[in-house]
Amino acid sequence: MFESFGNLVAFQMMRLSPESHLGAAVQFFVMDATKIFALLVVVIYAMGLLRAMLSPERVRDFVRDRPDWQARGLAVTLGAVTPFCSCSSVPLFIGFVEAGIPLGVTFSFLIASPMINEVAAVVLVGVLGWELAALYVAAGLAVAWLGGIAMQAFRPERWVEDYVWKIRMGQAARLESDNTLRARHRYAVAEVREIIGRIWKWVLLGIGVGALFHGFVPASWVADHLGGGAWYTVPGAVLLGVPLYANATGIIPVAEAMLAKGVAVGTTLALMMSVAALSLPEMLILRKVIRWQALALFAAVLAVAFTLVGWGFNLIV
Amino acid sequence: MKNIKVLGSGCRNCEITANAIAQAAKEAGAVIELEKVTDIAEIMSFGVMSTPGVVVNGEVVHSGGIPGPDLVRSWVRD
């Protein structure tokens, strides 16, 4: 349906040739933009209606006072299902520290949260198929689990800013929510507007980059340089992704275009994770609570983890 | 006079929330004292982790996201 709409706009209304670079790029852009935004609206609305999104306050209550492995399992799972805005990562970090949750567990949450969320997962299934979606989610969960443990091994407590330890949180007020269907509908519509209002730029940018790649990069060039999965392509993809930032949904169309041109699966996954999870703005925000040594370590641990994931998949697939 | 605090460290949604409250108070002809709390320690002391949060007369009435117009009107009304 979305493909034929893309064909209609690019080849009939704009009269571009399907063989031309521009024609291929425009067709890809229209197809993906309509498809991804339609998926986003449906998924976010459905989750809003079910009130499936957890607030950070609830997550904190779930994770606190548990043995390490349980806390980590919950942190990774809840991180994966809560799309939280990077602007709340500071209160979240402080809240976790104040609740006595180990820093390694907090880092597991901070890794899982931007990388995996149910919105991105549904878009992944819709655009790239469920096999790749499952690979991405499984690899992301593993990285979050092990990344937190690796961070813990370096005793990051010494790098937490002093004032963080002194903050005492008040008792969170239990806000009762209106559970009528009308209130749920209103809440769901507000969620759709809020989340799409926040991410649409990243998504459009991702679709634009994907469309340019699809239309203008020849498959033969990809086969010569990226197709074989030469060892250096994976760390290259990770390094490329560090300064680049898009949210997890925005990078999906780029991955789609790369895979279609024959870029190796491991290389593509490494780039996706690096772009989604490692971002300069988030690092700068976290700098308010931890010193730069911890941030550098965080970036290094993730870069190594993504490289290993990429190499692993290039070997297997 | 009602005291309303908007909790948030300067994010865009916090601005929008504060403006919505000021606007609603003007429309209702209510006189309120509107404060913006940006200090993270003070925000957390209310038990709020997701901003923007709203506190009316010392009681947390909302957290995490822009509040709906009905809710905002109910806060400024006496």
Where residue B49 sits, what CATH number does that domain have?
3.40.30.10
> Is B47 close to A186, i.e. CB distance below 8 A?
no
Q: Which two tokens stand for residue A278?
A: 């490692």
> Is A87 close to B11, i.e. CB distance below 8 A?
yes
| A162, A165, A166, A170 alpha-carbon torsion, rounded to 10° | 150
Percent of all residues in chain A with a pLDDT value above 90, rounded to a whole number: 22
Predicted TM-score (pTM) of the model is: 0.82
Neighbours of A165 (CB within 10 A): 11
> Is B48 close to A57, i.e. CB distance below 8 A?
yes
Of B45, B59, B62, the CB nearest to A169: B45
Instruction: Write down the domain spans for chain A.
Output: 2-167+200-316
A106, amino acid identity: T
Neighbours of A158 (CB within 10 A): 9
Taking 70 as the threshold, does the pLDDT of residue A87 lie above it?
no
**Chain A contact probe: residue of B16, B48, B49 with most A CBs at under 10 A:** B49
Angle CA A202–A209–A189, to nearest 5: 30
pLDDT on residue A306: 93
- Chain A nearest-CA distance from B25, in A, is 22
> Is B68 close to A190, i.e. CB distance below 8 A?
yes
> Is A94 close to B44, i.e. CB distance below 8 A?
yes
Q: Which residues pair with B4 in a beta bridge?
A: B34, B56
Q: Which two tokens stand for residue A140?
A: 């992301």
| Chain B contact set for A91 (CB, 8 A) | 40, 43-44, 48-51
Cβ of A184 under 8 Å from any chain B Cβ? Answer: no
Query: Cβ distance A39 to B33 under 8 Å?
Result: no
> Is B47 close to A57, i.e. CB distance below 8 A?
yes
Q: For residue A95, what are the CA distances in angstroms to A144, A295, B43?
A: 19, 19, 11
Q: Which two tokens stand for residue A92?
A: 């979240």
Cβ of B46 under 8 Å from any chain A Cβ? Answer: yes
Query: Cβ distance A313 to A135 under 8 Å?
Result: yes
SS3 at position B5: strand
For the segment A146-171, what is each residue's pLDDT rounded down to a tens digit?
999 999 999 999 999 888 888 887 77
For the segment A33-84, what is each residue's pLDDT rounded down to a tens digit?
888 899 989 988 988 887 656 777 888 888 888 888 899 998 888 888 776 6
Question: Cis link prior to B52 (omega < 30° from 0)?
Answer: yes
Rounded to whole angstroms, the Cα distance separating A184 from A162 reads: 41
Rounded to whole angstroms, the Cα distance separating B42 from A90 reads: 13
Rounded to whole angstroms, the Cα distance separating A262 from A259 reads: 5
What is the average pLDDT value for chain A, to the nearest integer?
85
| Chain A contact set for B49 (CB, 8 A) | 55-57, 60, 88, 91-92, 95, 172
pLDDT on residue A235: 92
Long-range CB pairs of B59-62, under 8 A, 24+ apart, other chains included = B59/A173, B60/A172, B60/A173, B60/A175, B61/A173, B61/A175, B62/A175
- Chain A nearest-CA distance from B7, in A, is 11
Rounded to whole angstroms, the Cα distance separating A117 from A215 reads: 29
Distance of CA A205 to the CA centre of its chain: 15
Cβ of B57 under 8 Å from any chain A Cβ? Answer: no
**Chain B contact probe: residue of A87, A113, A163 with most B CBs at under 10 A:** A87
A225, amino acid identity: H
- Chain B nearest-CA distance from A42, in A, is 20
Q: What mean pLDDT is predicted for residues A282-305?
A: 90
* DSSP label at residue B52: S
For the segment A119-148, what is each residue's pLDDT rounded down to a tens digit?
888 888 988 889 889 988 999 999 999 999
**3-state per-residue secondary structure call for chain A:** CHHHHHHHHHHHHCCCCCCCHHHHHHHHHHHHHHHHHHHHHHHHHHHHHHCCCCCHHHHHHHHCCCCHHHHHHHHHHHHHHCCCCHHHHHHHHHHHHHCCCCHHHHHHHHHHHHHCCHHHHHHHHHHHCHHHHHHHHHHHHHHHHHHHHHHHHCCHHHHECHHHHHCCCCCCCCCCCCCCHHHHHHHHHHHHHHHHHHHHHHHHHHHHHHHHHHHHCCHHHHHHHHHCCCCCHHHHHHHHHCCCCCCCCCCHHHHHHHHHCCCCHHHHHHHHHHHHHCCHHHHHHHCCCECHHHHHHHHHHHHHHHHHHHHHHHHHC
- Residue A231 pLDDT grade (very low, low, confident, very high; cuts 50, 70, 90): confident
> Is A91 close to B68, i.e. CB distance below 8 A?
no
Query: Cβ distance A212 to A25 under 8 Å?
Result: yes
Strand order in the sheet with B32-37: B32-37, B2-7, B53-56, B59-63
> Which residues form the domain of B12?
2-76
pLDDT on residue B78: 65
- Chain B nearest-CA distance from A314, in A, is 40
Of B44, B61, B65, the CB nearest to A167: B44
Q: How many domains does chain B have?
A: 1
| Chain B contact set for A162 (CB, 8 A) | none
- Residue B13 pLDDT grade (very low, low, confident, very high; cuts 50, 70, 90): confident
Least confident range of A82-91, A265-274, B56-65: A82-91
> Is A88 close to B40, i.e. CB distance below 8 A?
no
Location of structure tokens 């024609």: A23
